[in-house]
Amino acid sequence: MYLRDPVAALRSISQLVQPGGVVVFQEPDWIPVLGHLAKLPLWFAPASLIDKTMRGSANHDMGTELHHTFVEAGLPEPAVRMELPLGKKPYLAQ
């Protein structure tokens, strides 16, 4: 949700949803990823540059802020789930 005012966007979107409807978002959160990459210098260097670039124009940690954003928009408290795939399984590379 790379928007200047995600609360206003949610308010607007929620007006388009029928009663009983569902508003769903899948948002990345780069904080855990950067923490893991800190041990991998060749990965961390470009990832930290991307992080610095994105921080100037967008909130790329929106994943952990979704709950608060829904509540601020006057919507019911959402069910929020966070997943962080780890390991060397082939499906993780897809």
Q: What is the pLDDT of residues 28-82, one digit of tens each?
A: 777 777 888 888 889 889 988 888 887 777 677 788 888 999 999 999 999 888 8
- Could you give the residue ranges of the DSSP H alpha helices within the chain? 6-14, 30-37, 41-55, 66-72
Q: How far is CA 18 from CA 7, 9, 13, 21, 86, in A?
A: 19, 17, 11, 5, 37
pLDDT band at 16 (very low <50, low <70, confident <90, very high): very high
- Give residue 74's pLDDT: 94
pLDDT at 17 over 70: yes
At 21, the pLDDT band (50, 70, 90 cuts) reads very high
Q: For residues 35 and 40, what is the distance between their CA atoms, to the nearest angstrom? A: 10
| pTM of the predicted model over 0.85 | no
